[in-house]
Structure 1
Amino acid sequence: MYDNKIHYIEKMEKICYYISYTQEGGIQMNNNPKVFISYSHDNQVFESKILEFANRLRSEGIDANVDLYEEAPVEGWPKWMENQIRSADFVLVVATKSYYDKCYVEDRKGKGVSWEVNIVYQFIYDNFSENSKFIPVFFDKEDEQYILSPLKPFTFYNINDETGFDRLYWRLRGISKVQKPALGKLRPLPAKEQRTMFFSSPINLDLWNDAGWEGVLYLFCPGEIPVIGLLYKNYEAGKKIFINWKEDSNNGYIDEFVDVTYIEPPFPDNCFIYSDKDRNNGNGYFVHIGPNIDASVNRMQKCGINLLEGMLAMVSRYQWMDEINGSRNRELFKQTIKTYGEYKIMPVARKDRMKDITEENLIINFDYGVNLHNIKFVKGIEVKENDIFKVVLQKPCS
């Protein structure tokens, strides 16, 4: 744009542009799109390039306009320029160092270009940083750096390159060379994998919560199998646990549904119990009571539930036992088990919970006892990831 053809205008009106859109969101150009070319006059050679560019656009149906087609507009250059920008479907802003400097370098501001760039800024501001009207273009790859700051986020075109010109042309026509295909139907949702939950556990949560298991005692009698007494706070609730087990037992044996496991030292070096006063700083062992996994799987399969189609749910309980004053009860129990090959468990409780555990202060009734053959003794460092009793090595949440 010739600087000597217009006067700098300090104030401007807000300009609103109305553009129609297709359903796909593109600008609808059924007729010849109107284009205004905004540039900075550098020299006669550059002016010829602008004219050649405008002529080519017009030869291919683009209603391009540029000040070179006008000699003396009756409304004056500022008003003519504003009208051209307002009425154009697109404004092509030709990036050059001269254009850039006249916008941003104080002592080289060109009045015409400054007026145009004010409209560019105002348009983007009014449209909340969205822009479909002003398109940056350049003839030389080096001029890409001179694209005006508010136009840098938007698509630009090297119009000296045939591919760039071609892309711009179809952009002005509102036609994408790569057509977006119509939406197909969504795939149907895959059939939900149905799995059957098989619950198997010797632990009745309500009864065990009421009973309040708090430890184990050992009873050794010459010539008799060893006995583990499960010490409960509430004897009546503890007794019901064993009554139910006896009803489900096989001739008094409960190996089909109960597993007892001792988890003994040494434990993993990083196990929480070594720094836990409630676990006697690791001086002791865990007793874990839970379901017989193998027997539970067999029962699940007998019910027609395939392992790959079913989920086995179970509940277990465990108790930490301190070993103080050189206690050898655990070792003696292990030796006796080897001798007899079986043992008995039964409910016990204190008659008076305010008094110490002594033979006279214990409720003991062998009629409620049940027998087992199977028992496991596992070192803490040998517990595997999938072992049901691995939970004892994890610090309780509360």
Structure 2
Amino acid sequence: MSEHPKVFISYSHQNEEYENKILEFANRLRSEGIDANIDLYEEAPAEGWPRWMENQINNSDFVLVANSKSYYEKCHSDNIGKGIAWEVNIVYQHIYDASTINTKFIPVFFEEEEEQYILTPLKSFTYYNVGKKEGFEKLYWRLRGVSKIQKPPLGNLRPLPKKEQKTMFFSTPIDLDKWNAAEWRGMLYLFYPGAVPVLGLLYRNYAAAKSIFTDWKKTAKDNFADDFIKVDYVTPPFPQDCWVYTDKERSFGKGYFVHIGPNTEESINRAVSSGVQPEELLLASFSRYQWMDELNDSKNRDLFQHLTREGSGYLLMPIGIKDAKKPIEESNLIIDFNYAIRMKKVSFKTGLEVEDSDLCKVVLQKAEEK
């Protein structure tokens, strides 16, 4: 844009009052550095009026089309003015040649009701009511190529956010293939005078069960196995809406759950010790649980809970069934202390005390809901 933008004003000669408006408008533009031109400044152009008008339109940076009822009617009546006809045809042709891209022709008017007379090809472009101070100001700065609100310079792009990284740490005492093959079916309590109590896991497939406990003994290395195994008892009362209260196979809630899984606290400690940050840790695991009916009383469970509460520990070991078709009694059981592992603690909590973060929470959800 040149320092003094060249502007040509196209308008309709309709009366002296309107021509004075046009003249004042042009004079004001010129007084503020805009090289505005109108036919009123010319008496007799040497090239003739048609060529003069065309030259003005072609050589100007902007053409201000002063829309009015007279301008509109002269364009659309049979008695069209020759001057207007010539100018309008040039305007239409420019817009047509530019494939409707328009940066040159700007519709203006002096009165609000004149907005309706904007020529059809110019209706989609920004217009200005120059009869108002605000409209004139906006037009002036447009002619100067200055936006009222300047775009700030582009700053630096934000650095990409750090991708949240999680390190999966897998920890479980459960070998799924062996566990499924062993077919865990129940619990058995053994109490001997002067000895720690025994918590026996009853399996149908004793060979597979021995393999499970052989692996556990190797991991424990004759020490307590609490570092990687956790045994949880979840006992009544359960939440009021818990599924066991409506389940016939769970004796309508007369019993308890035993849940076997990893010691999550120790698993996390091992992960952190290996260099994994706590906030980056994703712990994955398997666990298994068994429902135990308790239709008569809970004296064996209560005694086991009492004895282990003293902190003397207990033995966890597999118990085999010789013949699954015969009753579960001592003569039909396989008991071998060579496969027992030492445990310090066992967790007892009611169903109401189980927190959402606890792995054994799973027992309170029906299998198809997990």
Q: TM-score, normalised by structure 2?
A: 0.66
Rate the CA distance shift 1:267–1:57 in 2: closer, same or farther, 3 A: farther
Supply the AA of the counterpart residue of 1:337.
F
Deviation at 1:33, TM superposition (A): 3.1
Among 211, 227, 244, which residue is 2:179 paired with? 211
| Contact map agreement 1:137 1:159 (CA 8 A) in 2 | yes
| Contact map agreement 1:242 1:368 (CA 8 A) in 2 | yes
Deviation at 1:53, TM superposition (A): 1.3
3-state SS of paired residue (2:140) = helix
Among 316, 341, 346, which residue is 1:375 paired with? 346
Q: Does 1:336 align with 2:288?
A: no
Rate the CA distance shift 1:201–1:120 in 2: closer, same or farther, 3 A: farther
Rate the CA distance shift 1:254–1:51 in 2: closer, same or farther, 3 A: same
Over aligned residues, Cα RMSD in angstroms? 5.3
2:24 corresponds in structure 1 to 52
Work out the CA distance in 1 between the residues paired with 2:256 and 2:119.
Answer: 76
Q: TM-score, normalised by structure 1?
A: 0.62
Work out the CA distance in 2 between the residues paired with 1:108 and 1:271.
Answer: 90
| Contact map agreement 1:286 1:319 (CA 8 A) in 2 | yes
Q: Does 1:126 align with 2:126?
A: no
The equivalences for 1:130-141 within 5 A come to 131-140=102-111
The equivalences for 1:296-307 within 5 A come to 296-299=267-270, 303=273
Work out the CA distance in 2 between the residues paired with 1:281 and 1:37.
Answer: 94
Rate the CA distance shift 1:223–1:173 in 2: closer, same or farther, 3 A: same
Count of residues paired in the alignment:
356
Among 289, 313, 318, which residue is 2:283 paired with? 313
3-state SS of paired residue (1:37) = strand
Q: Which segment drifts farther, 114-123 or 248-257?
A: 114-123
Work out the CA distance in 2 between the residues paired with 1:361 and 1:109.
Answer: 121
Stretches of structure 2 that go unaligned for 5 or more consecutive residues are: none
Work out the CA distance in 1 between the residues paired with 2:250 and 2:94.
Answer: 72
3-state SS of paired residue (2:186) = strand
Rate the CA distance shift 1:169–1:214 in 2: closer, same or farther, 3 A: farther
Question: Structure 1, residues 165-193: CA drift from partner, whole Å, max 9, x if none?
Answer: 33322321223465545445456668x69
Among 62, 71, 92, which residue is 1:90 paired with? 62
2:261 corresponds in structure 1 to 290
2:7 corresponds in structure 1 to 35
2:192 corresponds in structure 1 to 223
| Contact map agreement 1:208 1:238 (CA 8 A) in 2 | no
Higher Rg: 2
2:142 corresponds in structure 1 to 171
Supply the AA of the counterpart residue of 1:315.
S
Deviation at 1:304, TM superposition (A): 8.0
Work out the CA distance in 1 between the residues paired with 2:235 and 2:360.
Answer: 12
Supply the AA of the counterpart residue of 1:53.
F
Supply the AA of the counterpart residue of 1:241.
I
Supply the AA of the counterpart residue of 1:334.
R
Deviation at 1:217, TM superposition (A): 0.9
Supply the AA of the counterpart residue of 1:255.
D
Among 206, 217, 220, which residue is 1:249 paired with? 220
| Contact map agreement 1:211 1:236 (CA 8 A) in 2 | no
Identity %: 44
Supply the AA of the counterpart residue of 1:92.
L
| Contact map agreement 2:232 2:259 (CA 8 A) in 1 | yes
Deviation at 1:289, TM superposition (A): 2.5
3-state SS of paired residue (1:30) = coil
| Contact map agreement 1:242 1:370 (CA 8 A) in 2 | yes
